[in-house]
Amino acid sequence: MVSSNSLSMLYGKDILVYGIGSVGRTILSYLCAMPDQIHLIGIALTHADQEGRDQVTGLKIRNIRQWAEEYPEAVVLIATSDTYHKEIAEICQREGFQDIIPITPSLKDAITCAFFEQYFTKKDVDLSGRHIQLGDAKFLNPFQINLPNSANIFGQLKDIVFPHLFPDWSLLDEGPYDPDGILALDPGGIVLDCGANFGTFSAYAASKSCKCYAFEPTPELQPVLHEYTDLYPGKIMPVERALSNQNGTATFHLSSYSCGANSLLDRVQTQKNITVQTITVDSFVEQNRLETVDFIKADIEGAERLMLEGAQNTLAKYAPKLSLCTYHLPDDKEVLAKLILKANPKYKIEYCWEKLYAYVP
């Protein structure tokens, strides 16, 4: 169960956010939306040669030394990859700052939850129950789920649901899987949710009257996915397997930070490794005698290419719409596009946000 209580340590203080990369951007977007609770004074960097303003937030950007001269009592939030936390903390200490707080997973979750609690309250969304109702869809309530990093559900909702329901495109992170004007989930369609995680996209697809196979090999997420089968009877089928380019078993790396980062590829700070069952899309389609596949969504931490290698027959025969993440590996765009066109040259491919969208006109 996620709590925002730990955020109270920041109330009533001058806050500097150190970092303006992906972590910093996310934290800043949330904190800037809570001016009644959080007093942000600016953004700190090590090598800012001259004072400027951030074009997105309007906050001042200064060298950490300049901030130390004016706000020596400020709290410095280190909003970077944890790889650099120690180095940056030492820099801040040398400049005289005493109150230095790295953005840990728990603090990031607290900030996320505080923001979305405020956001949903303004939208008159009831957060008191096990589930939350958003339009025609029901989703698990992150405040009620006792799993690490369950605040990640809020992050998924802002990409998957907000543009279509509110509409609100201002908070997009990786971008929607079902963008208007490019792809659409057709009622009655067969959907493969590759990397279902907490099942948010599966629930969204089910709310559109699709039948969704939710592929997720992480053991601790199975109760969550099976709860969705009760919410959407006959619409969501959890599949506890990893999609790959061959059938069998493989090592699955569990992230120490987020279950959303679990992967067949050894590319994260690993907490432990487990052995999971793997299957190809083509084999799954054949074994389950699927007469069509209409939509494939994939966010599987760099293994999207393995999934496509094992889906060549499906892409050639059924030409499903594809919505794939392209930010896990440097050559994702090129490799994924090549595999798609190899299977079916009729595909048209478009890139937007951190996604690849493909369809046959």
Residue 306 CA neighbour count, 13 Å, CB half? 21
d(CA 281, CA 295): 12
CA–CA separation, 100 and 93 (whole Å): 8
Q: How far apart are CA 104 and CA 315, in angstroms?
A: 41
CA distances from 154 to 150, 179, 198, 301, 353 (A): 8, 18, 11, 19, 18
The whole-number pLDDT of residue 260 equals 66
Q: How far apart are the first and last CA of the chain?
A: 44
288 burial (CB, 10 Å; 0-12 / 13-18 / 19+) is exposed
Q: Which segments of the chain have a pLDDT < 70?
A: 1-6, 48-50, 256-257, 259-260, 267-270
What pLDDT does residue 76 have? 94
At 20-54, the pLDDT tens digits run: 887 888 888 888 888 888 899 999 888 766 678 88
- Torsion-angle region of 248 (φ positive above 0: left; ψ -120 to 50: alpha; else: beta): left
Would you state the pLDDT for residue 22? 77
Give Dmax over CA atoms of the chain in angstroms: 69
Q: How many whole angstroms separate alpha carbon 301 and alpha carbon 325?
A: 8
pLDDT at 49 (0 to 100):
64
Interatomic CA distance for residues 327 and 299, integer angstroms? 10
pLDDT in tens, 246-278: 999 988 788 766 766 777 777 666 578 889 899
Note the pLDDT of residue 217.
Answer: 92
DSSP string, 240-257: -SEE-SSSEEEEEEEESS
Q: What is the pLDDT of residue 257?
A: 65
Q: List, in order of start, the domains of the chain with CATH numbers.
A: 5-110 (3.40.50.20), 124-359 (3.40.50.150)
Q: What is the pLDDT, as a whole number, of residue 3? A: 46
- pLDDT value at residue 1: 42
- Residue 17: count other Cβ atoms within 10 Å of its Cβ: 28
